[in-house]
Every structure is written in structure tokens, then in C-alpha cells.
Amino acid sequence: MIKPLSEMLAKAEKGGYAIGAFNTSNLEITLAIARAAAKLKAPIIIQTSESAIKYSNTTVIYNLIKNVAETVARKVPVAIHLDHGQDLSIIKECIKVGYNSVHIDASEKDFATNVRLSKKVRQLAKKSHVSVQSELGSILGKEGLVRLEKGEINMEELMTDPEQAKKFVKLTKVDALAIAVGTIHGRFVGLEKVDQERLKKIHSLVKIPLVLHGASGLPPKDLKEAVANGVSVVNIDTNLRLVFKKSLWKSMNQERNIIDPRAILTPSIVSVQAEVERIIKILGSANKA
Ligand SMILES: [Zn+2]
């Protein structure tokens, strides 16, 4: 059942657990996420990136998620969120069709521009009671990692500065903040870490929910520690893509005579569901619906 994200996050903060935010772009992944949440009685965020929206369109993907949330996941709280919104026209459209929450990612811009854009989106979202997530600090991706390995950039300097985060939240009054504390978009086991001291410091200064991106390659122990230290939302995308592809590859190779797309795709749905269940258990959100 669709619920306001603010309500879900207030409960998570009180209960000391985090809510998983899982990316989708199609029916199969959406079903897998919803089935996992329903089975484990977990609150959940189902999110789309801008490219996931472009894969079909805003109304199609929104209604698909909404319909699955109101049937398969009708007994658990579900929020629908735009992940890494950078295009104001897409953000506006998401607010218009009914998303509960939008992310304005202006983290690559300078501080003043990030503040200005975050305030603007907050203004746009306010009337519709849509939550706004901003981002401060630079969460590395694959390209950034190459630069990091060449010594062109310094991880420490890219991370969220706790005092600046406090100032940012005070100026923008956004509802949630994505922070850079050492995780990387993608899956880079061994390279992804969490600067737990920095996280604790940010949590003590910033009184809104904190969002951890790029956590796919983080060991469960570190993820649990990050939740204990103040993370309320954990974004997971890459892990779902990996298990989806692995199962698809297997079914395409083992069952070469099968042409029914449902038979080909069912193993992928099962694998994604299992991965979502694994993450929910790490985050402590099972039986919190
Ligand atoms: Zn992200």
C-alpha cells in the first residue's frame, strides 16, 4: 500500500532499522521487489532513475509500480521515489503523476547552486506533499574510480563534510540527505567502505534521514554498522541487475528451445526476490510493516 515516505522514515528512525530503496525499470523487477517485501513484511521504497523512466515513460512506470504496490504489496508500506533526478522537467512530471518522493541530485554543482536547486525542488514538491532528497558530497561511480586509482582525486575530499551538511539542511529544509561516506555506485567489493566516524558526526548534526547510495558491494557487517550509526535508507540497484542477468543467462543457455518469455524470465524474478530479501534482512526492516 502506498504510504507517505515521511511516516515510514519516522518509524525506521525510532525502530533503529533502515528501509531498502530498490531500483526498477520493468514488471519483472517490480514484482520481485514487491514479493520480497510482502513475504518479509517489510516497508519498502521502489524507485526509478531518469533512464528507467525513459525506458517506458513516467506514467507507465509509475502506474506499473503503483498497481503492484496496491496488489502484491498491499499489506506493506510502499513509497515510490525518483532516484538521481537531474532534469527539472522529469522531476516535475514525477511530482505530477504521484511519486511520493524525488531526489534532486545537484551534487556535482557548487554548494550555492546545489542549495538553490534543492530549494526550488522543495518548493515544487511542497504543495503535493512529496518528499525531497538532496545530495551533498560526491559519490563515486566507475569513471570516478578510475580517476581515484590514478591519484587524480582524493576520496576524503569528495566525502560529505558534516558541518557543511548541517548548513545545507538548514538552508534547503529538504526531507532527506544522500551522503558520500566512502561507498561507490556499482559493485566494487573491497573498495567500498564506510567512514563510520564521519557518518556518526553527520548524524549528530543533521536531523533528517540519511541515505546511503552505492552500497551494493558493501560487506553486510559494514552495512549493519552504517544503519546503527544513522543511515535510514539504503539504495540498491547493481546487485539486482547482476542476479537478474545471471539467471537470464542461465535460462537462455540451458533451455534453448523455450521461446515463452515468461519461462525465460521467471528465474530472474526469483533471483531478484531472493537478493531483495537478503538486503531487507541485513537492514533489519523485516516484520516492520
Ligand atoms: Zn545513487
Q: Mind listing the pLDDT tens digit for each residue in 187-202? A: 888 888 899 999 999 9
Q: How far is the CA of 170 from the centre of ligand 1 (A)?
A: 23
Q: Mind listing the pLDDT tens digit for each residue in 202-212? A: 999 999 999 99
C-alpha neighbours within 13 Å on the C-beta side of residue 173 = 6
Give me the pLDDT at residue 84, please. Answer: 97
Q: Are 251 and 264 in contact (CB under 8 A)?
A: yes
Average pLDDT over residues 75-79: 98
β pairing state of 19-23 and 231-236: parallel
Q: How far is the CA of 176 from the centre of ligand 1 (A)?
A: 13
Give me the pLDDT at residue 144, please. Answer: 84
Residue spans of the domains in the chain: they are 5-283
Q: How far is the CA of 159 from the centre of ligand 1 (A)?
A: 14
Give me the pLDDT at residue 125, please. Answer: 97
Q: How far is the CA of 234 from the centre of ligand 1 (A)?
A: 9
Q: How far is the CA of 231 from the centre of ligand 1 (A)?
A: 14
Give me the pLDDT at residue 48, please. Answer: 98
Q: How far is the CA of 49 from the centre of ligand 1 (A)?
A: 9
Q: How far is the CA of 255 from the centre of ligand 1 (A)?
A: 35
**What is the reported pTM?**
0.96
Q: Mind listing the pLDDT tens digit for each residue in 141-165? A: 888 888 888 888 888 889 999 999 9
Give me the pLDDT at residue 255, please. Answer: 75
Is 83 labeled as catalytic in the residue annotation?
yes
Q: Which residues have beta carbons under 5 A from ligand 1 (an ion)?
A: 213
In this predicted structure, the answer to whether residue 67 has a pLDDT above a threshold of 80 is yes
Q: How far is the CA of 261 from the centre of ligand 1 (A)?
A: 30
Selected catalytic residue, list 83, 105, 195, 222:
83
Residue 161 DSSP label: P
Give me the pLDDT at residue 21, please. Answer: 98
- CA geometry: angle at 13 spanning 243 and 112, to 5°? 85
CA dihedral 241→29→224→206, nearest 10 degrees, is: 100
Distance CA 91, CA 87 (A): 6
Mean pLDDT of the chain: 95
Express as a percent the part of the chain with pLDDT over 70: 100
Average pLDDT over residues 67-89: 98
Please give the CATH superfamily to which domain 5-283 belongs: Aldolase class I (3.20.20.70)
Smallest Cα–Cα separation from 137: which of 117, 116, 110?
110
